[in-house]
Chain A
Amino acid sequence: MDQQQFAQLQLAVHEARRPLNRITMQAELIKLALEGAVPKEKALNALDKIIAGSKDCSDSLSELVAQFNPDQNGHAE
């Protein structure tokens, strides 16, 4: 992997981390809801967002694989 490819990988990982960050914070919100500190509806909403965030993360990882697939764009030679 050359320098340019490594930079691309770093950017892709950064993009994948964004939904992970959302998921973590939504999970913290659910913990607060279970402790009774915020309304339960917020927990339900947070669970939906976790599901959406997981899909986003999965999409980012698929893009990452596509980006480094030698059959598609000749990156890894």
Chain B
Amino acid sequence: MLTVLLVDDDAEFTDVACTIIEFLGHEVLTAANLAEAKEWLSKETFDHILLDFMLPDGSGLHLLESLPAGKQPRVTLITGHPSVKGIIKDMCGSNVDYLVKPIQREDLESVFSQKKTASSKKAQPAITKHFGQLIGESAPMQELYKLVSRVSRTKANVMLLGESGVGKEVVAAAIHAASECEGPYVATNCGAFSKELIGSELFGHEKGAFTGAVGRKEGVFEQAENGTLFLDEITEMPIDMQPNLLRVLENKVVIRVGGTKAMPVNCRVVSATNRSMQEIAESKVLREDIYFRLAVFPITIPPLRERKEDIPLLAEYFINQLNAENDTRFKWQPEQLEKLKTYDWPGNVRELRHFVHRAAIMSDPDSESIELPKTIESPFAKKQTLSTGLKAGRTIEEVEKELIYATLEKVDGNKTTAAEMLGISTKTLYNRLHAYGDLSNDSE
């Protein structure tokens, strides 16, 4: 809680501002002019002063001269002129900032939280969010930032490729933020709509276009005017709807379902898929002409296992977020962060975030220590292994070999335990490994 002095001659403003400041958990006293403010300063100690620039008995800046020596309160000047910023910067130190009228609750929250942020920054290094979205300082992420920065200066459509959970939507939001475009960021999932509804979602519909179309609806292309449209799971879009999308991408006009009027649209399309380029080409889930329209600039987002040095940074960020949400003070131990780095995270950043959340729930909220489960594994990881291991067209020998090696890896190469898990004798396991030509003499 801070003790705040609010100096402003507008009684209505001070009255309502006091209610809001008190709601934010701070104590507040008011002064209507410089003389009253000076009197308060001689009697009380304040953490923060909100000071109107123009007061009946002089400029608010005069009060700065009357501030007590020693631990000075933080000062926020309230002004109606953004141009005052420059004057403040020149005349006052870093302890003084400003707010421009009209003021909102978030503005007040932000000026009061600055002090806390400054002191907490000393305790832990700040985590940089690149483009306000992305966390990571590894070489693959630096490369990604370079690509985002380059493409944001153009209007090119971008296709994001990457495994599930790598943060494709976050990268799309980063491209939007870096583009500094006027329009909004609109996201939709092409896999989430039935064949009948996807046309309406993308292009909108007119009233009465189909049963249930009780009113006119703007499609996402129209909503994202002058902004960014993120089409997630683009490869899950029904193939017979793709020519309609192609027409919009080529002609930059959209016709609502049930409508006749062509409306111009202007937005960058960022699409995403968790399939590889090769898979897209082979499986024919996306028409070639659409692919080239959407993937003018393809960006592959690295999986977390290829940027393991970012794991501590991400884990730190997630636990800080949970601490702020739940008023806890969990801290990672260096050996815990090392343990997180040893796991491959097949579910990528999403899996890591869920893991940290689960660990925070399991831990004592009154303690700083985080309780980690003995092993890190997720049903997601198992599902992935199974889905790649059991594709039709593979021989039983191939699958058997893969299972044997996966089991050995799981038990750190202990053949007795591996044999037990596989339900075969140790002798059979050795025989198999011999047959694969992968058993040295000393292991026998």
Question: A interface vs B, CB < 8 Å?
Answer: 10, 13-14, 17-18, 20-26, 28-29, 31-32, 37-38, 42, 46, 49, 53
Asked whether B102 lies within 8 Å of A21 as measured between CB atoms, the reply is yes
Asked whether A38 lies within 8 Å of B16 as measured between CB atoms, the reply is no
Q: How many of chain B's residues have a CB under 8 angstroms from any CB in A?
A: 16
With a cutoff of 8 Å between Cβ atoms, the chain A residues found around residue B104 in the complex are 24, 28
Q: Per-residue CB proximity of B1-35 to A under 8 Å, as 1/0?
A: 00000000010110011011001000000000000
Asked whether A21 lies within 8 Å of B10 as measured between CB atoms, the reply is yes
Asked whether A21 lies within 8 Å of B19 as measured between CB atoms, the reply is no
Asked whether B13 lies within 8 Å of A22 as measured between CB atoms, the reply is yes
Number of A-B contacts (CB under 8 A): 55
* B81 proximal to A (CB < 8 A): yes
Asked whether B105 lies within 8 Å of A14 as measured between CB atoms, the reply is no
B19 touches which one: A17, A18, A38, A53 (CB < 8 A)? A38
Asked whether B81 lies within 8 Å of A20 as measured between CB atoms, the reply is no
A25 touches which one: B54, B80, B81, B103 (CB < 8 A)? B103
Known A10-B81, A14-B81, A17-B80; judge A29-B102 contact (CB<8 A).
no
Asked whether B101 lies within 8 Å of A49 as measured between CB atoms, the reply is no
Question: B interface vs A, CB < 8 Å?
Answer: 10, 12-13, 16-17, 19-20, 23, 54, 80-81, 101-105
With a cutoff of 8 Å between Cβ atoms, the chain A residues found around residue B19 in the complex are 29, 32, 38, 42
Known A10-B81, A25-B17; judge A37-B102 contact (CB<8 A).
no
How far, in angstroms, from A22 to B80 measured CA to CA in the complex?
A: 13
In the complex formed, the residue of A with least CB distance to B14 is A25
Main secondary structure, interface of A, reads helix
How far, in angstroms, from A12 to B105 measured CA to CA in the complex?
A: 26
Asked whether A24 lies within 8 Å of B10 as measured between CB atoms, the reply is no
What are 16 A-B residue pairs whose CB atoms fall within 8 Å in the complex?
Answer: A13-B80, A14-B54, A14-B80, A18-B10, A21-B10, A21-B101, A22-B10, A22-B12, A22-B13, A22-B16, A24-B103, A25-B16, A25-B20, A28-B16, A32-B105, A37-B23
How far, in angstroms, from A22 to B101 measured CA to CA in the complex?
A: 9
In the complex formed, the residue of B with least CB distance to A49 is B12
In the complex formed, the residue of A with least CB distance to B20 is A28
How far, in angstroms, from A31 to B104 measured CA to CA in the complex?
A: 11
A47 to chain B, nearest CB (A): 12
With a cutoff of 8 Å between Cβ atoms, the chain B residues found around residue A18 in the complex are 10, 13, 80, 101
